[in-house]
A = this chain, B = another copy of it.
Amino acid sequence: MLQNQCEFIDVKRLYTIITTLRDKSPLVHNITNFVVMNNTANALLAIGASPAMIHAIDEVEDFVAISQALIVNIGTLDSVWIAACKLAAIKASNIGIPWILDPVGAGATPYRQTAASALAQLKPTVIRGNGSEILSVAQQAGEGRGVDSLHGSETALNAAKHLAKLTKGIVAVTGAVDYVTDGTQVAEIHNGHPLMTRVTGLGCSATAVIGAFLAVEPNAFTATVTALTFFGVAGELAAERSPGPGTLQIALLDTLYALDEATFSQRALVKPYVN
């Protein structure tokens, strides 16, 4: 009989990490896209982190050096921003600051695919994307199979495991179910709500929230699982009391700010994935 590959996930333990984040208020450096900068900053403030959005090639390295985590999101990339992303990521790796890559739209154009792949090769602590993005990045980072032959969440999970092994990091595939893997163990999270797909940039916010948890929890797998469970629980609570996506965007920030242990524990649906 197969053992769980994944360590037992203790929701009570996850909440202590949320409390630690609120207590420590880490400085989180974001290089992210224009669409979500405001929401991302507000999500980070709501959970208790201290965000900064800094992209100039003249200062990103200096700013990484005073931060506790780095977020790299290529949503509205151009050649100057990609250079800044690379400089910041290399600096973070060199001085031991955790960093997360959000390869927004990887695969949509050759330019975007090249940029996402180049950043993935800098070995992020975590990569978070939707199924298509992870499939696209995994292909570039490795086997060269056509994206067309890769589809469905089971396949995205295999690509995620493959990518995690290549980068020696954590990969998260988010969607109706979120998966987190280090290449061997996998956790799955069943929180969230379909209305969340009608608000722009909630995936980007999830990435930023993971980044903040990386700043306070040295185990990147645990940090990622905590972040996605927290974000999913807050999202579904917010969605349940929202008549539409406008209200959801606001209610999500209120919920991230106020979510307590009893509600978190009651709602969290996270467990080891067994193949």
Contact = CB atoms under 8 A, between A and B. Distances in A.
Interface in A124-142: none
A200 B53 CA distance: 11
A201 interface: yes
A121 B3 CA distance: 67
A38 B39 contact: yes
A230 to B, nearest CB: 15
A244 B59 CA distance: 33
Interface residues of A, number: 56
Contact of A46 (B36, B54, B246): B246
Interface stretch (A70-78, A151-159, A164-172, A214-222): A70-78
Given A246-B252, A250-B250, A41 B45 contact: no
Interface string A56-85: 111100110010000000011111100000
A198 B246 contact: no
Contacts of A266: none
Given A46-B244, A77-B56, A41 B254 contact: no
B249 A244 contact: no
A38 B36 contact: yes
A38 B32 CA distance: 13
A35 interface: yes
A124 B80 CA distance: 29
B249 A255 contact: no
A50 B131 CA distance: 17
Contacts of A39: 38
A146 interface: no
Given A55-B76, A66-B109, 11 more contacts: A33-B53, A34-B37, A42-B246, A45-B200, A53-B75, A53-B76, A56-B77, A57-B78, A59-B110, A246-B254, A249-B253
Interface of A: 33-39, 41-42, 45-46, 51-59, 62-63, 66, 75-80, 105, 108-112, 197-201, 242-247, 249-258
27 contacts: A35-B38, A36-B38, A37-B76, A38-B38, A41-B201, A42-B200, A45-B245, A46-B245, A51-B200, A52-B108, A54-B105, A56-B76, A56-B79, A56-B111, A59-B110, A59-B112, A62-B109, A62-B111, A244-B254, A244-B255, A244-B256, A244-B257, A244-B258, A245-B253, A246-B257, A247-B254, A249-B250
